[in-house]
Structure 1
Amino acid sequence: MNYEEFGKLKCEELLKVQNIFRENFKIDSYANWFYDSETELLRLYNDDEDEIFFRYIPVGTFSLKSRTWMWSWFNESSIEKSKTELLVVKEFGNENNYEKLKEGTFASDEYDGWELASICLDFLNGIGVYKVDTDNLEKYMLIMGIENHDSPKVRKLKQKVVECGKHGHSRPAFVCDHLDLETPKGFEEAFDTYKGMELEEEDDFQAWCNECEKIRLEHDGWNEESEKFAQIQLICEDCYFELKEFNQIK
């Protein structure tokens, strides 16, 4: 069987599994998502009373900008340990000379992600596939099962996040006290961000308004005076990106 026939067969099998997955867990009913690479958990939620946690294996990513696919086992930035489980798929690709299964990265399109995920689902007995969309990047996850709300992994995950009255538990972020959803004031960041991005261990989402940026530059950076003017506040990641969308002056 050539690769095109094999891939088509696995996509047809995924369609059946995916329909059951969507129906059983009502995944389309959740407005928000968050995943943690360290615990390898995906959280789908509307609020803290309406949430579900899944264990996942990262399959790979498709870049909308470069139009390329990258397997997670090839991606040095992917810290999930479970990605090595995909090497059985790579070995199968080597045995059958299926280029897309044995090459770490290659020119691709949006359809390859689902096809490659469908093959992984068959090999690793997943219960479904979930795709996370961020700026110019699609991340495909093989869902392996539900994680109980009171499990050590979930408790560890919630220790790493802040509790927001509006959004529930989400990653922490820091903004100046002047940013709000009433009047756009500009949005300066420590580095370019997008929702759901993976952060280095020492990094946090940080932003401040245009006036804070003027004061910061006048004082050659952050010091006691510029920080006093900014009055940095702790918020959640979801609030951060709401502020970013509203305050960016285009």
Structure 2
Amino acid sequence: MNDDEFQEFIDSCFEELEEKQERLISEFGFGSFDKFQHDFEKEEIYLLKDGQVRVKAKLIPIGSFNTKSSTWMWGWANEAFPAPLRKKAEKLKQLEALTGFEMFGNEVAEIDPDMAWEIAGMALNLLGSEGAYRGPAGSTQYFYALEQVDNVYS
């Protein structure tokens, strides 16, 4: 892709991301949760409100953005995730061949906060996922692609 084609791809993927996120907001209440938990062995994420799990979903780690160093680490490169999740995230390496940009094949890249969401959009497009969740952990923001999003009634 040349620079113009790449920008068109980013814009299209970001528009798709916004539509998916709007659905998660309207159908599942995204943006209203107090905290999140995950079970990497089950490959699931849980969104809680008032101490109760309200939504659960299958997850694939897209990557993490460190706000202090402005660096992105791909989920497939992050050993904080178990091997089966890193293996699922390896599909994101296809973005390098698709776009022709090396940053999609490097384990770490310097980016800005807006680019983190643009990467999430491209990842959702490639994975065909339902939406994304950004989980804060100190100065690091973890981005997950979500599948099988469902309400949990207790």
In structure 2, the CA distance between the partners of 1:23 and 1:69, relative to structure 1 (3 Å rule), is: same
Identify the residue that residue 41 of structure 1 maps to in structure 2.
44
Aligned partner of 1:68 among 71, 74, 85 = 71
Tell me the distance in 2 between the aligned counterparts of 1:36 and 1:135.
Answer: 19
Alignment of 1:89 onto 2:92: yes
SS of 2:76 mapped into structure 1: coil
Aligned partner of 1:114 among 108, 117, 123 = 117
Q: Which runs of 5+ in 2 are unaligned?
A: none
Identify the residue that residue 13 of structure 2 maps to in structure 1.
10
Identify the residue that residue 24 of structure 1 maps to in structure 2.
27
Alignment of 1:56 onto 2:59: yes
Identify the residue that residue 141 of structure 1 maps to in structure 2.
144
| 1:144 CA drift (Å) | 0.8
| 1:87 CA drift (Å) | 2.5
Question: Any idea what the Cα deviations from partners look like across 1:96-131, whole Å, max 9, x if unmatched?
Answer: 412232221111111122111111111211111110
Tell me the distance in 2 between the aligned counterparts of 1:98 and 1:147.
Answer: 35
SS of 1:9 mapped into structure 2: helix
Give me the identity figure in percent.
26
Question: Any idea what the Cα deviations from partners look like across 1:50-81, whole Å, max 9, x if unmatched?
Answer: 62211111110001121100001111232262
Aligned partner of 2:103 among 100, 105, 116 = 100
Tell me the distance in 1 between the aligned counterparts of 2:84 and 2:48.
Answer: 25
Amino acid of the structure 2 residue aligned with 1:57: I
Tell me the distance in 2 between the aligned counterparts of 1:50 and 1:56.
Answer: 16
| 1:86 CA drift (Å) | 3.0
Tell me the distance in 2 between the aligned counterparts of 1:50 and 1:70.
Answer: 28
| Contact kept? 2:78, 2:86, Cα under 8 Å | no
| Correspondence list, 1:225-240, <5 A | none
| Contact kept? 2:20, 2:131, Cα under 8 Å | yes
Tell me the distance in 2 between the aligned counterparts of 1:49 and 1:76.
Answer: 29
RMSD over aligned Cα atoms: 2.2
TM-score computed with the length of structure 1 as normaliser? 0.54
In structure 2, the CA distance between the partners of 1:107 and 1:8, relative to structure 1 (3 Å rule), is: same
Amino acid of the structure 1 residue aligned with 2:34: A
In structure 2, the CA distance between the partners of 1:87 and 1:19, relative to structure 1 (3 Å rule), is: same
SS of 1:69 mapped into structure 2: strand
Bigger mean CA offset, 21-30 vs 124-133 = 21-30
Tell me the distance in 1 between the aligned counterparts of 2:149 and 2:74.
Answer: 24
Tell me the distance in 2 between the aligned counterparts of 1:34 and 1:68.
Answer: 23
TM-score computed with the length of structure 2 as normaliser? 0.84
| 1:132 CA drift (Å) | 0.7
Amino acid of the structure 2 residue aligned with 1:66: S
Taking CA–CA contacts closer than 8 Å with sequence separation of 6 or more, which of the two structures ends up with the larger relative contact order? 2
Tell me the distance in 1 between the aligned counterparts of 2:130 and 2:87.
Answer: 19
